[in-house]
Amino acid sequence: MPEGDAVHRAARRVGAALLGHEIRSIETPQPRHGHHRWPECLTGRSVRAVDAHGKHLFLRFDGDLTLHSHLRMGGAWGVYPRGGRWHRPARRAWLVIRTDEHDVVQFDGPVLELMTEGRTRFDRRLAALGPDVLAEEFDDAEFLRRLRADDPTRGVDEALLDQRVVSGIGTVWKSEGCFLAGLSPWRRVGQVGDGEVLRVIHEIRPLMARSVEGGSRQPRWVFERAGLPCRRCSTPIEFRGQGDDNRNTFWCPECQR
């Protein structure tokens, strides 16, 4: 699943292609949206903002209308020169927005919905989201409040993936953050101090921000390095599935005792 940095990066690409540019056409090839008449609803409206919160992306149009997208496991946003070749087949496109210069395409959904601006503020799913790990000013206090209100017996790795606690962290940054903070992912939330868990956030925020800016990819410390020597202590990196939803955890048993 794309993590928060990938979604914020997509929002920047989409925004650069749409903001200040006249929209020539909007298409919704996916049959489930055929009866929604979105092209008619959005014709003549300009995109005034494109932003992200965690793993959610929002295209905000004039007239109090917003397209909300969540890519889940297989979705993607693409921005191409007008008429250029797309990186996925056209039959997999759910949304196509064309300007004179670009085709902006959302592929493979599966969450794509048009809502009013007011609904984006009060929709229960969106209102329940925790603070965005990539917010300009991360709300430490709100993050800790949500963490401490949760089940203290579950592992800190599971809590960091809960988008109601903090938005934007996935399996990559959870594993990397726990390593950089020297925190075992298997510690129970009730056994972890505020400073320890905040260090995870503070370690990964600048790395994720660099990723959003398009900086060069840094070598992973532990993610997908099972069996390889730790870059700090040479102990073999370990790997284990987490819970029952096919998510994975990588960690160094020496650095993260």
Q: Please give the DSSP secondary-structure letter assigned to residue 189.
A: G
What are 175's two structure tokens?
């594993």
One-letter amino acid of 10: A
Q: Which is the catalytic residue, given 3, 158, 176, 203?
A: 3
State yes or no: is 2 an active-site residue: yes
Per the DSSP assignment, residues forming a β-bridge with 47 are: 61
Determine whether 131 is an active site residue: no
Cβ proximity of 245 and 254 under 8 Å: no
Q: Residue 110 catalytic?
A: no
Burial of 215 (0-12, 13-18, 19+ CB in 10 A): exposed
- In angstroms, how far is CA 102 from the centroid of its own chain? 24
Catalytic residue among 27, 55, 81, 219: 55
Retrieve residue 131's tokens.
């603070």
Q: Computed from CA positions of residues 107, 132, 113, 213, in that sequence, does the dihedral angle turn out positive or negative? A: negative
Q: What's the CA gap between 213 and 146, in Å, rounded? A: 29
Q: Give the active site residue among 2, 158, 176, 203.
A: 2
Paired sense of beta strands 56-61 and 47-53, if any: antiparallel
In sequence order, the β-bridge partners of residue 26 are 97
Catalytically active residues, by annotation: 2-3, 55
